[in-house]
Amino acid sequence: MLDSMVTFDGVTRRFPPDVTAVDEVTLRVRPGDRIALQGVSGSGKSSLLALMVGLDRPNAGTIAWPGLEKGPLRPGQIGIAFQSACLLPSLNLAENLALPWLIARYAGDPGRAVAEALDLVGLGEMADRLPSELSGGQALRAGVARALVTRPRLVVADEPTGQLDGETGRALIGALLAWAEANGSALIVATHDAAVAARMDRHWQMSFGRLTEVLAGEVA
Amino acid sequence: MKRWIAGLLARRMLALGTAALGIALAVALTATLGLFVLDSAAGMTARAVSKVGPDWQVQQQGADTANAMAALDATIPAHRQAVVDFADISGLTANVGGTVQTTGAGKAVGLDLPAYAAMFPGQIRLMTGSLQGAVIAQQTAANLHAAVGDKVAIQRIGATPVEVTVAGVVELPQADQFFQQVGGMTRTGPSAPPDNVVLLPPDSFAASFGAQLDSAPQIAWRQLHLAIDHTLLPPDPVAALTQSQGLARHFEAQVAGGAVLADNLSARIDGVRQDSLFARVLFLFLGLPGVAVALLLTARITGTGHDRRRAELAILQVRGMRSAALALRMAAEGILVAGMGTAVGLALASTLAKAMGLGFGHLWAWGLAIAVGLGATAVLYGLPLRSDLARPARENLLPAPSVGALGQAWRRMGLDLVFLSIAASVYFETTAQGYHLVTAPEGVPVAAVDYKSYLAPGMLWLGAGLLILRLADWGLERGRGVVAGLLRPVAGRYAPLVAAGIARDRRRIATGILLVALTFSFAVSTSVFNTTYDGQALVDAQLTNGADVTVTGTPDNPAQPVLDKVAATRGIATAQGMMHRYAYVGTDLQDIYGIDPAKIGQVTTLSDAYFQGMTAKAAMAELAAVPDGVFVADETVKDFQLVPGDRINLRLRMAGKADYAVVPFTFAGVVREFPTAPTDSFLVANATYLAKMTGLPLAETVLARANGDPAVAGAAVRAALSGRPDLKVTDLTETARRIGSSLVAVDLRGLTALETGFAGPLMAGALGLVLALGHIERRRSLAVLRALGGGAACIGAFLWSEALVVLGFGLAAGLGLGMVLAGALVKMITQVFDPPPEVLAVPWLLLAGLGLAGALAMVLAVLWALRSPRETLAFALRGGTDG
Ligand SMILES: Nc1ncnc2c1ncn2[C@@H]1O[C@H](COP(=O)(O)OP(=O)(O)OP(=O)(O)O)[C@@H](O)[C@H]1O
Ligand SMILES: [Mg+2]
């Protein structure tokens, strides 16, 4: 148990009037995990991730982060790439990416970390662009890059390849995996793309809020 | 439809409510200001005619009294009248203390003096003695050195002198009017009233001048002085003038040449007619911007809901609703806002009007207010709806077409500069010498405001508004580094990001700055104008009255002996004596004032404008240094070719001697105006020197400074001196009311209270609204910040920074614009100031209070945004786009 990063124990999240988005989920994330989270639309993926990163609270059950330090989870220990890019429209990419660095109160200038993150997702040339000057896919990639700036121990990405063509999507996942490797971080990716899921070590399947782990060898 | 409206009310209560509130403010402001101006115009008529004295002076032509009386009765059933006879005399002679004094030509008047004084209060003021018997005017008494009980011979023209015994000395405060020439030649300006006047009881006049009255109309004539029932007149000066002139014409037609008429009533109303027009000008100059600001704020609210309304429209369009029903349903929101806003506004206005004691009967004001309420909502909801209805559903689902291209065209065209230069050129034309903003030609019932002059403040307002937009825009972009530096205390490490964000959002933020600036400028311009005007009215009154409280005696009856008593009266801080005598400069008799230059400043205010080529302080220092120094009028300097240091000989009355004797003085400088001094030539010298040279040490006048309300102090002094009816006690408040143009009497303090009463909520509303709507429009961004882990420090950095930028730049721009507007207004209506103010008086405390109200609203708006509910987080995480 000591090497658990996040644990869910019988976690349930209901929304009024009668949706149970997450239903008695018990799980464990370990350092270095590469997890794919799959399931049909509306099965509760985003809801689960929101609980995991501390954006939402369960109606029942407990969530713990034994592998992380006490204090704020976001953005220093957990980085999130939202399902939509969620960039601030009045800040350019470099400024948007600097935000987590500043919020986490990291010392020094965020410039290098920001440039590296942008390079990683292939947007190195676009630091000065405003979100409105990006394509949907570019904006999503910027959102992924923003999750990496603070070098968090856990990165959660909600459908990062949703709007990308196959090749760009593959490149992005490759870069994410390489970054996680180099950084020793755990990675959870919600995705509808089997090819993306195939590059992960663990496979979680959601259906009507229930989570099952598909072990290696079984067919998804 | 009913369900739709019920739904609207339930779901959109806040949006509809705030929009209705904006409309209500505009409506209430229009109505109360309108009531105020119309009511004060009515008050002007009442006040003006209350002091008119005889409304008509009817002078008989020929002996047919019956005819004239019949015509009067036919024209004005409700009137009272007094018979007043006049006769020219060649002079008066008195033998006092062994010397004989003779005056020049003058007039004898025959009338029932006690009855006349009762019928026309304020026209006859008894100085000493009684009204029963022969009475002489104050100046005549001075000229003759005659007092009650002395014998005076009246030199009749073409007849032997008759002798009368002086029973009393009176002052005729409105001698100009009383002795005016009636009929005959048209008057060219007021003719000087005679210095030498004796008033006789009717029988005594008849005995001495009866024959002349019958046979020599060029020497003696009879007038009827009429008191007309003023309740016959309509309250509005313009209408009242038409009516009173109509009466006069009717009478002249009836009497058919049997009498001529001096229509004092119309002349008085004529005088205030101009003031009532000025009141109207002020209403527009000062009130209109307030109404405009309220409407701009409302537009900001309705603009925010526009996309939602378009989406609703699109859904109904898709469902295939027919266009008439569609239009009605979509218009429901606007109709609701118009109805609620106008009703609440009218209710608010009537509450305020009741509290301020304003009359309700001015339909004009109510009508205008209703028109503003309905018209504004029609424009704000109707026009956008019309173009939305013409568009297909799918276009209505897209965000509103940007007004960008059209809305920005003014920048390229430099419309701000165009407006400002039009404002400047009209302003310079209207403030040029000899220009009159309001013309009310005497006697002509048409009176006019030069409406072109409205262009100056109007264009200034528009041009400055656009310029503020341009400058805010430019400053937030170019001054990004400076802004970041300024924001560091609130934004900390986020400052560069925040400044960058503000620079990119500058269009939206500049609009907010503009709204705040216009609101504040409304408050600044009205309060600065009103304070300046109020202060100037006081300066004017102080110049006339001399001090807060003034006790006036005469050379024979100086006020100095009561100085200590006055000084010791409650409410009086300090008192000083001032000599007021007469001196001959050559053959010209002028007023001379003897002062203590070191102490006069303790009791009255000397303005630098009173002296030519030096400050008041320097003038007093000069007088202190030169014991025999004298300040003289500019005219006298020209007449006698004086240069500083010249000797100038005056003739003054000496103690124990009846004659005037020469006293040498040294010319010290030019005085233009002085407390209590008349508008024509006069002299100012050292009291100690006057006392030493004439042997008459007592000051005729006592000036006192009150340590509180001058009216209260005046009443106390009056009570303390009740045993001395021969001394006249006047106070500043009473004088201000008496001499001020009737515009002063339109208690501007009431107007200030009213306008700042509106400015407060507008100020708070503007800031709260601008910021709150800004937060609502950007709530997704705030949710993103929160989702990224940003706490109060991070979100607060963005919110506080923007709020402070809007508040700071808005207040600064508003202060600047308000001051310029107030300055321009003061200059443009300088016609009503006498003398014009030297500087603008700024009620800093009041403005600071308004700024604070804005700051408070800002704090509340930011705190509200900071505690934004948890659910907004869902926005950031689920579907949709940024923005
Ligand atoms: N804030 C909320 N209020 C009410 N219902 C919600 C809320 N958030 C999610 N839901 C509901 O919970 C269920 C799960 O939603 P969630 O966004 O987790 O699905 P998802 O698996 O991420 O789907 P997708 O693949 O389309 O992103 C859905 O039925 C959704 O409607
Ligand atoms: Mg999802």
B477 closest CA partner among B512, B502, B497: B502
What percent of chain B is predicted at pLDDT more than 70?
A: 90
For residue B421, tell me if it sits in a domain: no
For residue B245, tell me if it sits in a domain: yes
- The predicted pLDDT at position B270 comes to 79
Residues B717 and B653 in one domain: yes
Residue B236 DSSP SS3: coil
Across B437-461, average pLDDT: 70
Residues B211 and B158 in one domain: yes
DSSP class per residue in B209-225: HHHHHHH-TTTEEEEEE
- The predicted pLDDT at position B175 comes to 81
Chain A residue closest in CA terms to B495: A102
Higher pLDDT, B534 or A185: A185
Tokens of B243: 């009516």
Residues B91 and B152 in one domain: yes
- The predicted pLDDT at position A220 comes to 44
- The predicted pLDDT at position A37 comes to 93
Chain A contacts of B494, Cβ < 8 Å?
Answer: 102
For residue B346, tell me if it sits in a domain: yes
Q: To the nearest whole angstrom, how far is the Cα of B402 from the nearest Cα of chain A?
A: 15
- The predicted pLDDT at position B188 comes to 39
**Does the distance separating the beta carbons of A95 and B789 come in below 8 Å?**
no
Across B494-501, average pLDDT: 92
For residue B528, tell me if it sits in a domain: yes
pLDDT digits (tens, 9 = 90+) for B284-326: 777 788 888 888 888 888 877 787 788 888 888 888 777 777 7
**This prediction's pTM:** 0.76
For residue B73, tell me if it sits in a domain: no
Q: To the nearest whole angstrom, how far is the Cα of B803 from the nearest Cα of chain A?
A: 16
- The predicted pLDDT at position B186 comes to 40
ipTM: 0.92
For residue B767, tell me if it sits in a domain: yes
Can you name the residues that pair with B578 across neighbouring β-strands? Answer: B701
Angle made by CA atoms B433, B438, B441, in degrees to the nearest 5: 100
pLDDT at B411 over 90: no
Identify the domain containing residue B199 by its residue range.
79-228
Distance A197 CA to ligand 1 centre (A): 21
Within 8 A by CB and 6+ apart from A140, the residues are A81, A84, A85, A160, A162, A163, A164
Higher pLDDT, A164 or B185: A164
Residues B712 and B574 in one domain: yes
pLDDT digits (tens, 9 = 90+) for A72-97: 888 888 999 988 888 888 999 999 99
CA A54 to CA A63: how far, in whole Å? Answer: 9
B810 closest CA partner among B417, B500, B468, B304: B468
B21-33 burial, b for 16+ CB within 10 Å, e for fewer? bbbbbbbbbbbbb
- The predicted pLDDT at position B142 comes to 77
CA B809 to CA B815: how far, in whole Å? Answer: 10
- The predicted pLDDT at position A68 comes to 83
**Does the distance separating the beta carbons of A55 and B788 come in below 8 Å?**
no
Listed range (B202-211, B712-721, B777-786) with the worst mean pLDDT: B777-786
Can you name the residues that pair with B95 across neighbouring β-strands? Answer: B100
Residues B721 and B748 in one domain: no
pLDDT at B190 over 50: no
- The predicted pLDDT at position B189 comes to 38
What percent of chain B is predicted at pLDDT more than 90?
A: 19
- The predicted pLDDT at position B738 comes to 64
Residues B878 and B793 in one domain: yes
Amino acid at B840: L
Residue to substitute in A15, A193, A205 for testing ligand 1 pocket (most ligand atoms within 8 angstroms of CB):
A15
B710 closest CA partner among B605, B814, B555: B605
> Which of B361, B377, B401 lies at the terminal end of a domain, its last residue?
B401
Residues B625 and B687 in one domain: yes
Task: Tally the domains of chain B.
Answer: 4
Q: Are B197 and B172 in contact (CB under 8 A)?
A: yes
pLDDT digits (tens, 9 = 90+) for B66-94: 777 777 777 776 778 889 999 999 889 98
A50 closest CA partner among A17, A18, A15: A15
Residues B187 and B334 in one domain: no
DSSP class per residue in B263-288: EHHHHHHHHHHHHHHHHHHHIIIIIH
pLDDT at B448 over 70: no
CA B808 to CA A117: how far, in whole Å? Answer: 38
For residue B739, tell me if it sits in a domain: no
Chain A contacts of B399, Cβ < 8 Å?
Answer: none
For residue B215, tell me if it sits in a domain: yes
Residues B517 and B656 in one domain: no
- The predicted pLDDT at position B63 comes to 56
Residue B883: pLDDT band (50, 70, 90) is: very low
Chain B contacts of A91, Cβ < 8 Å?
Answer: 497, 500-501, 504
Residues B535 and B571 in one domain: no
Residues B175 and B322 in one domain: no
Residue B266: C-alpha distances to residues A147, B227, B276, B738 (Å): 85, 13, 15, 19
Give every strand in the sheet of A60-64, ordered side by side. A19-29, A6-15, A60-64
Higher pLDDT, B432 or B477: B477
Distance A154 CA to ligand 2 centre (A): 19
Residues B531 and B478 in one domain: yes
pLDDT at B633 over 60: yes
HSE-CB of A131 using CA atoms within 13 angstroms: 23
pLDDT at B638 over 80: yes
Q: Are A216 and A34 in contact (CB under 8 A)?
A: no
pLDDT at B744 over 80: no
> Which of B366, B381, B401 lies at the terminal end of a domain, its last residue?
B401
**By alpha-carbon position, which residue is closest to atom 27 of ligand 1?**
A41
pLDDT digits (tens, 9 = 90+) for B698-732: 999 999 998 888 888 888 888 888 777 778 888 88
**By alpha-carbon position, which residue is closest to atom 11 of ligand 1?**
A21
